A and B are shown apart, each in its own frame.
Chain A
Amino acid sequence: MRFLGKAAGGLYLLLLYLFVAGPLLFVIATSFNPATSFPAPFEGLTLSWYAAILRRPEFLSAAGTSAVVAALAAALAVVVAFLAAYALSRNGSSSARGAMATLLASPLLVPQVVISLAILQLASAWGVGTGFWGLVAAHAVYVMPFALRLLLTGLARFDFAVEEASRSLGGGWLSTWREVTLPLLRPSIVAGFTFCFILSFVNLPLSLFLTSPDTATLPIVMFAYIESRIDPMIAAVASVIVLAAGTATILLDRFLHVRLVD
């Protein structure tokens, strides 16, 4: 009975993972196929689509831009969201908390294409460029609600008496946060950062009007490419990202003990 339950659970997870990863695995498989059309039956094995990426430096630099933008946006979003979630959980009444949480989640409610264009229009009306930091800040605002949600959930089960205890033992605000609060909330903080990073890294609509030749992100470059070409090089780019992300995840865990979830 127990064994059957475990087997059923394993099968469920296997099917779920196949569903989530299936389309991507299929696309990645085509990146080793020399055929130029998509989707094509296998005609052999090749790495030429990977070599093709090296002849398109804009893909590599865009991937770098995206990683930097996503990391900065996620960091900014998590810090800001943590402060807000903390304030709301500690002091707010539950109705005030609900109202504020909804307000802070409002970026999710507006189509990003429109916000992207509106930011550009406003910035140029005021004679300021949006630039790199405008892009980062816009991404941060959009991903912040996700971090806020996770942190509010984490704080909902957080016992603030622990902080009182720490302070009554002579700990200051900062040291209480550093020694007590943050370690206890680590799972939500780490998951929030992961969430935000991913959402920023793959975001297209928000970046549509906010990028310039120097700040083109990977989705922008891929979207422009895919309008006039469809070949397995795009698949090769995806598989390189997956490889890089997988390596980074394992190395971070191994050497820095930083995990996607904790």
Chain B
Amino acid sequence: MPLTRRSTLQALSALGAAGLVARPALAQSRTLTVSTWGGVTEEGLKAYVQPEFERLTGARLAYDIGGQGARYNKLLAQRANPPADVFFSADEAVVAGHKAGVLTTASRKNVPNIADIEDWALTVKAGTTAETIPGAPYTLIAYVLGYNPEKVKAPVTSWADLWRPEFQGKLAFTSPVHSVMPAFVIMAAEMAGGSIDDIDPGFRKLAELKPSKLTVFWTDWAPLAKSGDVTMATEFDYYFETMKDQKYPIEYVIPKEKGIGVPEYVSVVKGTRNQELAEAFLNLMLDPKVQASFAASTYSGTTSRRAELPDSVRSRCACGARVDQLRFFDPEMFATRRALWTERMNLEVVPSWQAR
């Protein structure tokens, strides 16, 4: 057969077609897509998890990065053809994800490291059976209270200090859309003589604050801490530690009423074609060595009983004795009340915050 241009093209396109047909199958079995936060978490995964994961499984990791809300919406919109295999989120989104049918359980057999995880980290009950787990709680972070030690002289010890007159108009406070907002509604209700079943006093109490900045991420208010516009802030402990390393004028305390403990999970996306790879990934996230490396680089706490930390790190993250100073809220309760409470925050509390 003479080699004409046309026949060459035909041969090439046949080859190409074969490649196209074969590639998706190969790629699907060899790439695990991780839906996670950019920045600190992505960096930690690339440094401490990816090399080990690739060595153990021979598969590749790809990252779909973004805020938890955006990534969760991607799961909701693409149930038939999920955009990721594993999903990073706080515990409440794991509850919601199982209820909405976008997350699925993992088999205990394939995640043996779950046996070493502290009981307090297992906040998600749905999907927990003798054979299955709803996801892997790989770290613990604590929402606490910080202040500028150069400007604040009277000691800060309690959530009640948020209402001290000197901080009004100088306060970076939890946005109504922050993941821990329901905890503040409950705690404020308790301070004002109410309870979780008598929640109205909580909204009224929160409305008395005069925040100057409503925050979701520490980066929302860090420049204001530097400029002195903010002298008190509510934030996660590991971000306060990062700020101290970056020389922001900040100190923090765990309030005497207890800080808010939030376990963060990685779970398997329903409809994944890589269930076993995903489970291997979960198991690796619970590995004591991986957890220790994560803690050392990000100050987020370990959840594995076998994780060993040097004292310099242990004293700066949510683990060990610090866990006793934390209060764990039921993520199921958050998930069922969030929509209504966010709405009440916007309609009843934010208007009085605006009138500062």
* B-binding residues in A (CB < 8 A): 35-40, 117, 120-121, 124, 127, 129, 208-209, 211-214, 216, 220-221, 223-231
Contacts and interface: CB of A to CB of B under 8 A. Distances in A.
A230 B62 CA distance: 24
Nearest to A214: B62
Interface string B53-87: 00000000011111100100110011111010000
A57 to B, nearest CB: 10
B37 A117 contact: no
Contact of A124 (B63, B67, B77, B222): B77
Contacts of A216: 64-65
Contact of A117 (B39, B77, B218): B77
Given A129-B81, A209-B74, A38 B65 contact: no
Nearest to A40: B226
A64 to B, nearest CB: 17
Contacts of B74: 120, 209
A224 B73 contact: no
Contacts of B226: 37-40
Contact of A226 (B62, B219, B245): B219
Contacts of A38: 222-223, 226
B227 A39 contact: yes
A229 B39 CA distance: 6
Contact of A225 (B39, B73, B239): B39
A104 to B, nearest CB: 27
A211 B66 CA distance: 10
Main secondary structure on B side of the interface with A: mixed
Contacts of B246: 36-37, 231
Contacts of B78: 120, 124
Interface string B32-57: 01000111111000000000000000
Nearest to A231: B246
A225 B43 CA distance: 10
Nearest to A208: B70
A227 B223 contact: no
Given A227-B219, A231-B246, A213 B62 contact: yes
Contacts of B80: 124, 127
Nearest to B248: A37
B81 A221 contact: no
Given A117-B77, A230-B222, A224 B40 contact: no
Interface string B215-229: 011110011001100
Given A38-B222, A121-B77, A228 B66 contact: no
Contacts of A208: 66, 70
Size category of the binding interface on chain B: 35 or more
Interface of B: 33, 37-42, 62-67, 70, 73-74, 77-81, 83, 216-219, 222-223, 226-227, 239, 243, 245-248
Contacts of B40: 228-229
Most chain B CB within a 10 A radius of its CB, from A39, A127, A213, A221: A213
A212 to B, nearest CB: 6
A174 to B, nearest CB: 29
A75 B83 CA distance: 29
B249 to A, nearest CB: 9
Given A37-B246, A209-B70, A228 B65 contact: no
A224 B67 contact: yes
B37 A209 contact: no
Contacts of B73: 117, 209
Nearest to A228: B39
B81 A228 contact: no
A139 to B, nearest CB: 18
A224 B219 contact: no
B81 A37 contact: no
5 contacts: A37-B247, A121-B77, A127-B81, A220-B66, A228-B40
Contact of B33 (A35, A37, A213, A221): A213
A228 B246 CA distance: 13
A231 B242 CA distance: 11
Nearest to A224: B38
Contacts of A211: 64
B231 to A, nearest CB: 16
A221 B38 contact: yes
A124 B81 contact: yes
Contacts of B222: 37-38, 230
A227 B70 contact: no
Contacts of B81: 124, 127, 129
Contacts of B77: 117, 120-121, 124, 209
Contact of B38 (A40, A120, A228): A228
Most chain A CB within a 10 A radius of its CB, from B39, B62, B79: B39
B68 to A, nearest CB: 10
Nearest to B68: A227
A213 B219 contact: no
A228 B63 contact: no
Contacts of B37: 224, 227-228
A106 B184 CA distance: 42
Contacts of B63: 213
B51 to A, nearest CB: 16
Most chain B CB within a 10 A radius of its CB, from A208, A211, A214, A228: A228
